[in-house]
Amino acid sequence: MAKFNDPEIEALVEKEWQRQNSGLELIASENYPSPEVREALASPFMFKYSEGYPGKRYYAGNENVDTVENLACERAKKLFQAEYVNVQPLSGGPANIAVYMAFLEPGDTVLSLALDHGGHLSHGLKANFSGRFYNFIHYHVDPKTFIIDMDEVEKLTAEHKPKMIVAGFSAYSRNLDWQRFRTIADKVGAILFADIAHIAGLIAGKVLENPVPLCDVVGTTTHKTLRGPRGAIIMSKEKYGKKLARAVFPGVQGGPHDHVTLAKAIAFGEALKPEFSKYTKQIISNAQTLARTLINSAIPVLTGGTDNHLLLLDVSSLGTDGAEIEILLNDAGIRVNKNLSPFDRGTPQAPSGIRLGTPALTTRGLRELEMELIGQWIAEIIKEKQVSDSQKVAIKELALRFPIR
Ligand code: DSN
């Protein structure tokens, strides 16, 4: 860790470093990028302004920035078999604003997964820009299987003729039927937008199907399973490149963060290596082991397991809620987040669900054996609704055996 001359700041950074190293990170959207990616964030590219695109900037001195941006685009194209890539979006929310801006007019109808069924707030929540400016209609999961109800997607599409269909999620543990989404979108000429923020790394690692060739436009953050810096990219067919570029800049953003673009290029380079595929296989194996251990300990796992890096627990039948369990597990040193679960009778502050994910711990080197231990601790804590000192000690010991690099 860098040393700071400001003692107050130094103490804060040290405290956070200790907190992270001594705990087990199971928040599904978090991960630890490589030291090289982190180094890039403090590189001289941080000082530069470069509004515009390679070869067409509004500031002098961008010859190296242009090379970095082109390199990041080329690597992302290779990774995802994309025709057009824009690496400037500052994060997932801004990327989604740009996608909507490129393809929609205010008031247009869009179909997406409901937030409490696993969707994302930028997919039409009323309090979010998306729900405010566009007419979002939501599809849901099936009440028995908790799998996305594709018949409902088809029915709502025929009924509302959306201009865009969003296929993507922030809390859903099963594979999406990309081909069926494509077929349904084509029936009404809708744009198919895949938001793969959570699973981009698993797609890059070739352990999940790549929807990029099938979709009109695809957005992803770069910091989740993909292990890059905080940020996002948008990919599309070549024919949409111009309007997406204009939507990102000057539509939504000013100057791109070139140090982050450099870090994205490094992360994409890492993801192109064979080791990355092995890593992503391990993420899924760890998540499946965790799910199995919890199910064997009588903890309800939605859909009975997972195809990806995350799993959702519904703890309402165990006389508790997601908020209580999040606090208890945090006290134990296990970090998760409370989450609305489909057909939830709770509130966003006290929902029935807990979301767990394995990318961060997989990066730290934990494997199936450790996932079984962690699953048993989580099950015990949920059932007992308390944390023992011996559990705290054991969890800290395990975490310290796998330091963050
Ligand atoms: N906040 C991210 C997540 O936790 O899924 C999505 O933006």
Per-residue pLDDT tens for 181-210?
999 999 999 999 999 999 999 999 999 999
Mutational test site, ligand 1, from 170, 326, 355, max ligand atoms within 8 Å of CB = 170
Largest Cα–Cα separation, the chain: 63
The per-residue b/e assignment along 319-346, b for 16 or more CB within 10 angstroms, e otherwise, is: ebbbbebbebbeebbbbbbbbbbbebeb
Using the structure block, give the residue that is written with the tokens 């199910």: 295
Whole-number Å distance between alpha carbons of 376 and 361: 16
327 CA to centre of ligand 1 in angstroms: 19
Task: Kindly state whether residues 198 and 296 are assigned to the same domain.
Answer: no
Nearest CA to ligand 1 atom 5: 170
Of residues 101 and 3, the one with the higher pLDDT is: 101
Task: Kindly state whether residues 252 and 350 are assigned to the same domain.
Answer: no
Residue 1 has pLDDT above 90, yes or no: no
Supply the pLDDT for residue 88.
98
Active site residue 49: yes
Task: Confirm whether residue 370 is marked as ligand binding.
Answer: no
Task: Kindly state whether residues 105 and 190 are assigned to the same domain.
Answer: yes
**Residue 62 belongs to some domain of the structure:** yes
Task: Kindly state whether residues 189 and 332 are assigned to the same domain.
Answer: no
336 CA to centre of ligand 1 in angstroms: 12
Q: Which of 163, 182, 224, 227 is catalytic?
A: 224
Whole-number Å distance between alpha carbons of 115 and 298: 27
Task: Kindly state whether residues 327 and 373 are assigned to the same domain.
Answer: yes
Task: Kindly state whether residues 217 and 295 are assigned to the same domain.
Answer: no
Task: Kindly state whether residues 232 and 162 are assigned to the same domain.
Answer: yes
Of the pLDDT bands very low, low, confident and very high (cuts 50, 70, 90), residue 12 is very high
Of the pLDDT bands very low, low, confident and very high (cuts 50, 70, 90), residue 3 is confident
Whole-number Å distance between alpha carbons of 17 and 337: 20
Active site residue 216: no
Task: Kindly state whether residues 372 and 260 are assigned to the same domain.
Answer: no
Residue 2 has pLDDT above 90, yes or no: no
311 touches 287 (CB < 8 A): yes
Strands (E), 246-357: 310-314, 334-335, 337-339, 353-357
Is 96's C-beta closer than 6 angstroms to any atom of ligand 1? no
Single out the residue of 104, 105, 100, 78 nearest to residue 89, CA to CA: 100
Of the pLDDT bands very low, low, confident and very high (cuts 50, 70, 90), residue 104 is very high
Task: Kindly state whether residues 260 and 299 are assigned to the same domain.
Answer: no
**Residue 59 belongs to some domain of the structure:** yes
Is 92's C-beta closer than 6 angstroms to any atom of ligand 1? yes
Task: Confirm whether residue 238 is marked as ligand binding.
Answer: yes
**Residue 25 belongs to some domain of the structure:** no
Q: What is the 3-state secondary structure (H, E, C) of 38-67?
A: HHHCCCHHHHCCCCEECCEECCCCCHHHHH
Task: Tally the domains of the chain.
Answer: 2
Active site residue 222: no
Which helix or strand (DSSP H or E) is residue 25 part of? strand 24-25
Active site residue 221: yes
DSSP 175: -
Mapped onto helix, strand or coil, the DSSP state of residue 221 is strand
**Residue 12 belongs to some domain of the structure:** no
**Phi, psi angle pair for 192, to nearest 5°:** -100, 115
Q: What is this structure's pTM?
A: 0.97
Task: Kindly state whether residues 52 and 137 are assigned to the same domain.
Answer: yes
Query: Rounded to 10 degrees, what is the CA torsion of 258, 261, 262, 268?
Result: 180
Q: Which of 38, 39, 49, 392 is catalytic?
A: 49
Residue 233 has pLDDT above 80, yes or no: yes
Average confidence (pLDDT) over 346-355? 95
**At which of 271, 298, 328 does a domain end?**
271
Task: Confirm whether residue 120 is marked as ligand binding.
Answer: yes
Non-local CB neighbours of 341 within 8 Å, separated by 6+ positions: 116, 302, 312, 314, 316, 322, 351, 352, 353
Mutational test site, ligand 1, from 26, 113, 120, max ligand atoms within 8 Å of CB = 120
234 touches 217 (CB < 8 A): yes
**At which of 271, 291, 319 does a domain end?**
271
Q: Which atom of ligand 1 is nearest to the CA of 30?
A: 4
Q: Which of 78, 180, 206, 230 is catalytic?
A: 230
Nearest CA to ligand 1 atom 2: 29
Task: Confirm whether residue 119 is marked as ligand binding.
Answer: yes
Non-local CB neighbours of 384 within 8 Å, separated by 6+ positions: none
Q: Which of 10, 51, 66, 152 is catalytic?
A: 51
Q: What are the angstrom distances between the C-alpha of 76 and each of 57, 96, 176?
A: 22, 18, 22
Whole-number Å distance between alpha carbons of 186 and 179: 11
Task: Kindly state whether residues 264 and 287 are assigned to the same domain.
Answer: no
Active site residue 100: no
**Residue 117 belongs to some domain of the structure:** yes
Is 94's C-beta closer than 6 angstroms to any atom of ligand 1? no
355 CA to centre of ligand 1 in angstroms: 11
**Residue 51 belongs to some domain of the structure:** yes
pLDDT tens digits along 260-274:
999 999 999 999 999
Q: What are the angstrom distances between the C-alpha of 365 and each of 52, 336, 371, 384?
A: 40, 18, 11, 29
Using the structure block, give the residue that is written with the tokens 């934990």: 366
**At which of 271, 295, 318 does a domain end?**
271
**Residue 150 belongs to some domain of the structure:** yes
In this structure, what CATH number is given to the domain that contains residue 212? Answer: 3.40.640.10
Supply the pLDDT for residue 387.
98
pLDDT tens digits along 53-81:
999 999 999 999 999 999 999 999 999 99
Average confidence (pLDDT) over 369-392? 98
List the 353-357 sheet strands across, edge first.
Answer: 310-314, 353-357, 337-339
Report the chain's mean pLDDT, rounded to a whole number: 97
Task: Confirm whether residue 39 is marked as ligand binding.
Answer: no
Is 341's C-beta closer than 6 angstroms to any atom of ligand 1? no
Q: Which atom of ligand 1 is nearest to the CA of 337?
A: 4
166 CA to centre of ligand 1 in angstroms: 16
Range of the domain at 77: 37-271
Nearest CA to ligand 1 atom 4: 29
Task: Kindly state whether residues 228 and 307 are assigned to the same domain.
Answer: no
Mapped onto helix, strand or coil, the DSSP state of residue 333 is coil
**Residue 147 belongs to some domain of the structure:** yes
